[in-house]
Amino acid sequence: MIKPIVIVVGNGMVGYKFCEKLRAKSAEFEIIVFGEEPRRAYDRVHLSEYFAGKTAEDLSMCTATWYAENNITLHLGDPITEIIRSTKTINSQKGIVLKYDYLIMATGSAAFVPNLPGVEKEGVFVYRTIEDLDLMKAWAAKSKSGAIMGGGLLGLEAAKALIDLGIEETHVIEFAPRLMPRQIDSAGSAILQQKLATFGLTVHLNKNTSYIAGDHKIEALKFNDDTELPLDMLVISAGIRPRDELAKLCGLEVGLRGGIVVNQSLQTSDPSIFAIGECALYDQMIYGLIAPGYEMAEVVAANLCNAQKQFNGFDMSTKLKLIGVDVASFGDAFITEPDCRTIIFEDTHKGVYKRINISNDGQQLLGGILIGDAEAYSMLLQTVNNKIVLPPNPEDLILGSRGGATAEGAGVMNLPDEALVCSCEAVTKGDICSAVMEQDITTIDGMKKCTKAGTGCGGCIPMVKDIITGTLKENGKYIKNVICEHFDYSRQELLDLIRINKIKTYDQVLDTFGKGDGCESCKPPIASMLAGLWNEVILKQDTIQDSNDRYLANIQKGGTYSVVPRIPGGEITADKLIVIGQVAKEYNLYTKITGGQRIDLFGAHVMDLPAIWEKLIDAGFESGHAYGKSLRTVKSCVGSTWCRFGLHDSVSFAIEIENRYKGLRSPHKLKGGVSGCVRECAEAQAKDFGLIATEKGWNLYICGNGGSKPQHAQLLATDINEATCIQYLDRFLMFYIKTADTLTRTATWLNKMDGGMSYLKNVIVNDSLGICQSLEEEIAQLIQGYTCEWKEVVDNQNLKKKFNHFVNAPNEKDPSIKFEPLREQKQAAAW
C-alpha cells in the first residue's frame, strides 16, 4: 500500500512539533520537510541564550539523527518556491518536484520592518534567526550604543541580547505610551521600566521615528518631535509579519493584514492544505506564541489520523523572564471597573507590581498582570482557566496568606485532573499524576521525557514539580528512607514484601529484594521484622542481630555485658531482691537501679551470662529485653493500693500492660507509664504510651519520649475503661510497628505523619482506615507467641556454647577485660 505523502513547508518549532506529533500517532504517512534555514529546527523562544553562551546545537529541537530515525526526509536550505494546487505538486528552490497528498504550511513569520527611510543602512538588523544573531554579533563588536525599535515582548528579548553582547548603552524605543502594550498596563510598565533601568536599559516611550540618519551606516535615529538619538546599531523588533507569500502565490485565501486564513481544523481554502503556527490566521488572529502553535500542530496531526479535534482559539497568557525580570499576563488582563473589581499591589521599592481582576461577585478570577514576582502565575492561571471559586480574601492570592487560617483550595493538588498545566505540550495535571503513579517518574527530567511537560516555554516547571511532590505525598511515597545501600526499600515496604512473600530468613530477603552481602545497617532491622512477623526465637539467626540481641545483653565499655531481668511495673518481692543480690555478689557485678524501675547488673563476662540467667530464671525472672528494640518497662506509681491520692490501682494495670507487650519487637525501644492520679508520679506523659487515672477511668496519652529530644505525649482518649485502653494500645502499637521507619521512636513517627494526631486518632479510635480488626489480630498473635529468650538459651546446650569468648579455649575469659574500683563496687576501666 502506498502511504499518503505529507509535505511540511517550513522547519521551525511548530513544523518540527507537527512531525513529532504525527509520527507519534502513526507510521502510515510519508513525511517530507523543506526548510529555508540551513539548520534543523531550533528553539526560537530562547534565542537570546545564544548570546549567553548556548550554541546553535544546544538550541536544536532534536538530535541530528532524529529525522532519519523517524523516517522523515528533511531538506534543509531548500525552501519550496511554488505550489501547484491543481496537480498537488511542489517545486523547491534546488529543483525538487514532488507530489503531496497533504501540504502543511508552517512557514512562520518574519520580522515586520516598517517602511522607514534609512532601514537599508548598515547596522540595522532584525531579530529572528540564528543568522540574524550572527550578523548582530559581528557588528556589535565595534559598537558602543544600540537601540531596539519596539518595546514588546520580542523587543525586550532583543534588548537582553544587546546587553549580553556587551553594548554599553542600550535603548528601547516604543511608539506606544507603555512597554509590552499587548500584555501589561501602564502601572506595570512603569515598574518594569524602573527595573530595566537598573540593568542599564533606557526606555523611550511615545517615540515616533521619522528616519534613520547616517551616511551608508546608521548614525542616529531621528524622531518626529525633532529629537534624535545617536546610535551605532539598531535592531528592529516592531512585530511579526506572517510568511504568507507562497500561499498568496498559489491563490490561497489570506487576510487583509497577512496570514493564511484557516478554519477550526486549520484547513486553508484548499482542503488538502493546512496552515499552522504564526503563518495561520484563525478568527482574524495571528497567534504569536509557541503554545498555540503546538496546539495547532496537534489538531492537524490528529485530524490526519482521523481523530476529531478542533482549534478553538487559545489563551494568550504568558510568563517570561525578561532581562531577569519576571513578567506575566494572564486571562483578561485589561478588563477594568465597572466590569470587574481590581486588586492592585505595587511596591516601587522592590519593583513588584501585581494586579488581579475579579468578577463583581468576588467569585471568579478573570485575569491579571504580574511584574517582578510571578511565582503565583501558574496557580493564578489555573484559577482562571478552571473557574476555581476564589477564597474569601482573594488578595491572599497575590500577597500570600498573612496569618489566620490558610486559604482553602489554594494548593496545586486541589486542581481538577483536567487542568492544563503545560499549555505548550497540552499536558494536564492528570497526565502528570499518572506518570508519577504508574511509571514512577519523580524528577523534572523524567517528566520531560515521559510527558514532554515543561519542554516548551518552561513556565510550568515549578508547578510540575509541585504536582510531582504533591502526588508522591498524597500516596505516602514522598520520603523514601531506604534502609541501606543493599535495599532500595523503606522499612515499611520491606516489611510488606517479607510478609506477603512469607520470607523467613535474612539471606532469602537479601536474595529476593536486595543486592550485595548485607551490612550492619540492614541486618538488625530485618531481623526485627522477621522476629515481629514470624515470632521465632531470634537466636536462630543470631549473626544478623546487633551484638546486644545476639548475646541477649547490652555490651558495655570494656567488652562485658549487663543483665536486666524484667521487673514488671517495678514491683518486686523480697525473695527476688535477695536472688538478684546473690547473683550480683557471686559474679562480682555492679548493681544500679535503672530509670525504668528495675535493676541493672553490670560487668558480666560473656561466658558467665548463661549461668547468671539460669539462676535468675530459677527464681522466676524473665528476660527484660533491655538489649532489644522492644518494650522495656511500664513504669508505675503505687496508686490506690497505698497512696492516699490514688484513684485506681496503677501498679496492677502497669504489670498487666507490661506482661501483655513484653518481648514485642518494634522499630525502636518502647516505654510506658501508668499513674494513679493527675500528680503523674510515673511520668506517663514522657513515655511512648501513658495512662493517667481519672475519676471516671483512664486518660490515654501516646507518642511522648524523654531522651535527647524530650516531647510530651499527646492525649488520645479520655475517661476510657481498662478494656478500651488495651484495645487502643493494641491498635496503636501494631500500627506503629507496621508503619514506622527503623529506629524511629513514636514521637518522631507522629511528627512526620501527615495530619498528625488528628489523623492518628482517627485511625485508632474511629478506625478510619478499616484496619483495626487486623491490627488487633496481628498483635494478638505476637502476644501469644511470646517466649523468654533467655529461658530458651538456658535450656539448650548448643545455644549456650555461643557465649564462649574463645571457641578454642571455652573456659577462658577475655584476659583484656579490666575493672577499676568505684566506691564499694567497680567500674569498667577507662577507654
Name the site residues for other proteins (rule: CB under 8 A): 485-486, 507, 510, 516-520, 522-524, 542-544, 546-548, 550-551, 555, 558-559, 802, 805-809, 812, 814, 816-817, 831
Beta pairing partners, 526: none
Opening angle at CA 639, ends 637 and 640, nearest 5? 170
According to DSSP, the β-strands at 89-92 and 590-593 are unpaired
Contact in structure between 691 and 674 (CB atoms under 8 Å) = yes
Q: Is 255 helix (H, G, I), strand (E, B) or coil?
A: coil
Rounded to the nearest whole angstrom, what is the least distance from the CB of residue 515 to other proteins in the complex? 9
- Of 311, 291, 290, 315, whose CA–CA distance to 302 is shortest? 311
Phi, psi of 712, deg, nearest 5: -75, 145
Do you know the residue count of the chain?
831
According to DSSP, the β-strands at 260-262 and 233-236 are unpaired
User: How many alpha carbons lie under 13 Å from residue 232 in its C-beta half-sphere?
Assistant: 17
Residue 458 gets which letter from DSSP? -
Cβ nearer to other proteins, comparing 386 with 508: 508
Rounded to the nearest whole angstrom, what is the least distance from the CB of residue 26 to other proteins in the complex? 43
Dihedral (CA of 441, 444, 446, 450) sign: positive
Cβ nearer to other proteins, comparing 347 with 485: 485
Contact in structure between 13 and 44 (CB atoms under 8 Å) = yes
Cβ nearer to other proteins, comparing 523 with 625: 523
Cβ nearer to other proteins, comparing 40 with 665: 665
Cβ nearer to other proteins, comparing 279 with 522: 522
Cβ nearer to other proteins, comparing 518 with 568: 518
Residue corresponding to grid cell 555490651: 555
Non-local (6+) Cβ contacts of 13 within 8 A are 41, 42, 43, 44, 45, 61, 277, 290, 293, 294
Rounded to the nearest whole angstrom, what is the least distance from the CB of residue 584 to other proteins in the complex? 24
Opening angle at CA 795, ends 789 and 797, nearest 5? 110
Non-local (6+) Cβ contacts of 431 within 8 A are 421, 451, 453
Cβ nearer to other proteins, comparing 397 with 526: 526
Rounded to the nearest whole angstrom, what is the least distance from the CB of residue 511 to other proteins in the complex? 9
Cβ nearer to other proteins, comparing 263 with 556: 556
Residue corresponding to grid cell 560487668: 603
**Cα-based distances in Å from 624 to 45, 584, 608, 670, 789:** 70, 16, 17, 12, 10
Rounded to the nearest whole angstrom, what is the least distance from the CB of residue 528 to other proteins in the complex? 14
Residue corresponding to grid cell 541477649: 552
E strand or H helix that includes residue 34? strand 30-34
Cβ nearer to other proteins, comparing 332 with 792: 792
CA atoms of 506 and 496, how far apart (whole Å): 15
Cβ nearer to other proteins, comparing 136 with 793: 793
**Amino acid at position 241, single letter:** R
Rounded to the nearest whole angstrom, what is the least distance from the CB of residue 828 to other proteins in the complex? 10
DSSP per residue over 566-613, as a string? Answer: --GGG---HHHHHHHHHHHHHTT-EEEE-TTSSEEEEEE-GGGHHHHH
Strand ranges inside 224-302, DSSP E: 228-230, 233-236, 240-242, 260-262, 273-275, 280-282, 285-286
Rounded to the nearest whole angstrom, what is the least distance from the CB of residue 30 to other proteins in the complex? 48
Rounded to the nearest whole angstrom, what is the least distance from the CB of residue 523 to other proteins in the complex? 5
Rounded to the nearest whole angstrom, what is the least distance from the CB of residue 603 to other proteins in the complex? 15
Rounded to the nearest whole angstrom, what is the least distance from the CB of residue 724 to other proteins in the complex? 42
Cβ nearer to other proteins, comparing 234 with 544: 544
Whether the ω angle into residue 338 lies within 30 degrees of 0, i.e. cis, is: yes
Cβ nearer to other proteins, comparing 800 with 805: 805
- Scanning 228-333, the segments in alpha helix (DSSP H) are 245-249, 290-304
Cβ nearer to other proteins, comparing 484 with 753: 484
Opening angle at CA 538, ends 535 and 542, nearest 5? 155
Rounded to the nearest whole angstrom, what is the least distance from the CB of residue 743 to other proteins in the complex? 13
Cβ nearer to other proteins, comparing 550 with 625: 550
Residue 711 gets which letter from DSSP? B
For residue 804, give the C-alpha cell. Answer: 564462649
Rounded to the nearest whole angstrom, what is the least distance from the CB of residue 668 to other proteins in the complex? 17
Rounded to the nearest whole angstrom, what is the least distance from the CB of residue 544 to other proteins in the complex? 7
Instruction: List the strands of the sheet with 285-286, edge to edge.
Output: 260-262, 280-282, 285-286
Rounded to the nearest whole angstrom, what is the least distance from the CB of residue 483 to other proteins in the complex? 12
**Amino acid at position 322, single letter:** L
**Amino acid at position 96, single letter:** I
Rounded to the nearest whole angstrom, what is the least distance from the CB of residue 297 to other proteins in the complex? 45
Non-local (6+) Cβ contacts of 505 within 8 A are 530, 541
Rounded to the nearest whole angstrom, what is the least distance from the CB of residue 747 to other proteins in the complex? 24
- Of 383, 377, 258, 382, whose CA–CA distance to 326 is shortest? 377
Cβ nearer to other proteins, comparing 561 with 689: 561
Number of Cβ within 10 Å of residue 642's Cβ equals 11
Phi, psi of 192, deg, nearest 5: -65, -45
Cβ nearer to other proteins, comparing 107 with 554: 554
- Of 428, 331, 301, whose CA–CA distance to 14 is shortest? 301
**Amino acid at position 487, single letter:** F
Rounded to the nearest whole angstrom, what is the least distance from the CB of residue 609 to other proteins in the complex? 13
Cβ nearer to other proteins, comparing 133 with 544: 544
CA atoms of 65 and 814, how far apart (whole Å): 71
